Amino acid sequence: MSAVTDAAPPPAFDVAIVGGGLVGASLAVGLAPGGRRVALIEAAPPPATAPSWDERCIALNHASQQIFAALGVWDALAPEAAPITSTHISEQGRFGVARFSAAEAGLDALGYNVPLRAIGQALWQRLQALGTTALYCPAQLQGLQRDDEGATLQLADGQRLRARLVIAADGAGSRVRELLGIGSARRDYEQSAIVSAVRTTRPHGGCAYERFTPEGPIALLPKTRDAHTCSLVWTTPAAAVAARLAASDAEFIAAAEACFGERLGRFVELGRRQAHPLARVLSDALQASRVLFVGNAAQSLHPVAAQGFNLGLRDVATVIEVLDAAGADPGVAAVLDDYAARRARDRERVAGFTDHLVRLFSNRVPGLRGLRHLGLLALDLAPPLKQAVMWQNLGFGGDTPRLARGG
Ligand SMILES: Cc1cc2nc3c(=O)[nH]c(=O)nc-3n(C[C@H](O)[C@H](O)[C@H](O)COP(=O)(O)OP(=O)(O)OC[C@H]3O[C@@H](n4cnc5c(N)ncnc54)[C@H](O)[C@@H]3O)c2cc1C
């Protein structure tokens, strides 16, 4: 005789978001007012780091700023967002330079350099203030079973929940992808980005600089602390990472100055250094039955073009748009197909552009140096080409979601 159990059924949701990093938390905020029952499952406790002058920042483009405004978090971020009013792209040892300015685009800023900590905190505070999302945090997804009606999610602490649609926002090593047996294409760049902050003797003037060198690009972006403080992102070959991290501040500064040149004068103060190994990971699918992939779980990119999170935020805006138009069941095949079709072109374009940039500028073949030089000059001098690239970097190159257009 089988035992009779009277265990209560698991709580049921329309949407369960797995992963509350920047992308998952943005999506939860965007879905919170929509009237659907939404759960957010995040393994780490809500972000509680204190601000510091050398904390890691992320460059948001104009489309991302528009999306955050539509989600109601921009007002909280604005005081911590350093406007980028121009960009200056050059190659070590060459005169070719590509320059873009907000004035040419008819905007106040091309984008904003914002601490990751500030974005995370603003999103979680907004979620808690809206109060409609069931927060499972800290809680880790361990198992996933799907059927015709939805999916059952099993958490490591023994809890279970049901959802009609599961959205994987669980990062480049996505557990959801692994549980479903979905593969990914991985390209290891054998480089790390060493991230820090510097104070320079000349003011940044709101300009974001990127300088390509044979070893990889070095970028300096304005920070809000004062007119002389910048974020530093220095792409470093894997074999040189340990030595650069172990170097004294003075040695590190001397090497970074030699790479970057003198546009911002001397580097006079250096923050903490952190290394992030770089790889491109593209999920083999953007959807599976009852499941969608967003952010790094869908595609994780090299930071050379500062596009990874900006692209992920356009995934978020598209999910919101697609679910707004969906019927009672947000997990049916037509909704999933619509999302995947709308994201394909933007994703392919940005992932392709980013990868080409890494490989073009790290290639030491002599003839290519001349081509790169001509390419940067052409970019600076040819208005239609420049407009196209600028528009793409602002986040308007693909099928731009409504929220990114201020809608
Ligand atoms: C050096 C560097 C500089 C960058 N600069 C820029 C930039 O200037 N502009 C830009 O647009 N992009 C930039 N990026 C890219 C950007 O950082 C990422 O695209 C973005 O942070 C990805 O966010 P995500 O939420 O998709 O993934 P993640 O940040 O990886 O978040 C995934 C979340 O899922 C949670 N999770 C994982 N597994 C589970 C589980 N089983 N259960 C529950 N939760 C789980 C994790 O705890 C985590 O919080 C940069 C990247 C690097 C490395």
22 within ligand 1 shell (Cβ under 6 A): yes
Ligand 1 atom nearest 170 alpha carbon: 34
Q: CB–CB of 244/231 below 8 Å?
A: no
- Which residues, including other chains, have CB under 8 Å from residue 81's CB and lie 6 or more apart? 60, 65, 112, 113, 114, 118, 224
Residue 374 has φ and ψ, to the nearest 5°, of -65, -40
At residue 192's C-alpha, the angle toward residues 111 and 211, to 5°, is 50
Q: Which is nearest to 55 in space by CA: 216, 169, 224, 260?
A: 224
Q: Compute the distance from residue 5 Cα to the ligand 1 centre, in Å.
A: 41
Q: Which is nearest to 344 in space by CA: 302, 283, 274?
A: 283
pLDDT of amino acid 1: 36
Pairing type for strands 291-293 and 160-168 reads parallel
Ligand 1 atom nearest 221 alpha carbon: 8
CA–CA distance, 59 with 56 (Å, rounded to integer): 10
Q: Compute the distance from residue 136 Cα to the ligand 1 centre, in Å.
A: 19
Rounded to the nearest 10°, the torsion over CA 57, 62, 68, 70 is 170
Ligand 1 atom nearest 19 alpha carbon: 34
222: left (phi over 0), alpha (psi -120 to 50) or beta: beta
At residue 377's C-alpha, the angle toward residues 376 and 379, to 5°, is 65
Q: Which fold has domain 12-186+279-405?
A: FAD/NAD(P)-binding domain (3.50.50)
Q: Where would I find the H helices in 167-288?
A: 175-180, 238-246, 249-260
- pTM reported for the whole predicted model: 0.94
276 within ligand 1 shell (Cβ under 6 A): yes
CA–CA distance, 168 with 155 (Å, rounded to integer): 14
Locate tokens 């100055």: which residue? 257
Rounded to the nearest 10°, the torsion over CA 174, 176, 182, 185 is -10
pLDDT of amino acid 2: 39
Pairing type for strands 207-212 and 86-91 reads parallel
Residue ranges per domain, the chain?
Answer: 12-186+279-405, 192-278
Rounded to the nearest 10°, the torsion over CA 174, 177, 178, 180 is 150
Q: Which amino acid residue places its CA nearest to atom 16 of ligand 1? A: 309
Alpha carbon of 106 to those of 82, 383, 390: distances in Å?
A: 18, 14, 12
Q: CB–CB of 210/193 below 8 Å?
A: no
Handedness of CA 141, 146, 151, 152 (dihedral sign): negative
pLDDT of amino acid 78: 97
Q: Compute the distance from residue 29 Cα to the ligand 1 centre, in Å.
A: 17
Counting beta carbons within 10 angstroms of the beta carbon of residue 148, is it exposed (0 to 12), middle (13 to 18) or buried (19 or more)? exposed
pLDDT of amino acid 3: 43
Q: Which is nearest to 237 in space by CA: 261, 257, 255?
A: 255
- Which residues, including other chains, have CB under 8 Å from residue 50's CB and lie 6 or more apart? none
Render 6-68 in DSSP notation, one character per residue. -PPPPPEEEEEEE--SHHHHHHHHHHGGGSS-EEEE-SSPPP-PPP-TT--EEEEEHHHHHHH
> Looking at this protein, which amino acid is placed at residue 154?
Q
> Looking at this protein, which amino acid is placed at residue 30?
G
CA–CA distance, 13 with 331 (Å, rounded to integer): 11
Ligand 1 atom nearest 297 alpha carbon: 26
Residue 41 has φ and ψ, to the nearest 5°, of -110, 120
Task: Select from 189, 196, 296, 350 the residue to mutate for testing ligand 1; criterion: most ligand atoms less than 8 Å from CB.
Answer: 296
Q: Compute the distance from residue 138 Cα to the ligand 1 centre, in Å.
A: 17
Q: Tell me which CATH homologous superfamily contains domain 192-278.
A: D-Amino Acid Oxidase, subunit A, domain 2 (3.30.9.10)
Ligand 1 atom nearest 172 alpha carbon: 30
DSSP state of 2: P
Q: Which amino acid residue places its CA nearest to atom 20 of ligand 1? A: 309
Mean pLDDT in order along the chain per 10 residues (407 residues): 61 98 98 96 91 95 95 97 93 76 90 96 96 97 98 98 98 98 96 97 96 88 96 96 98 96 96 97 98 98 92 97 96 98 94 83 58 58 61 71 81
Alpha carbon of 155 to those of 65, 112, 175: distances in Å?
A: 34, 37, 12
Q: Which is nearest to 234 in space by CA: 243, 311, 171?
A: 243
pLDDT of amino acid 8: 84
Report, in angstroms and rounded to the nearest whole number, the Rg of the chain calculated over CA atoms. Answer: 22
Task: Select from 42, 299, 393 the residue to mutate for testing ligand 1; criterion: most ligand atoms less than 8 Å from CB.
Answer: 42
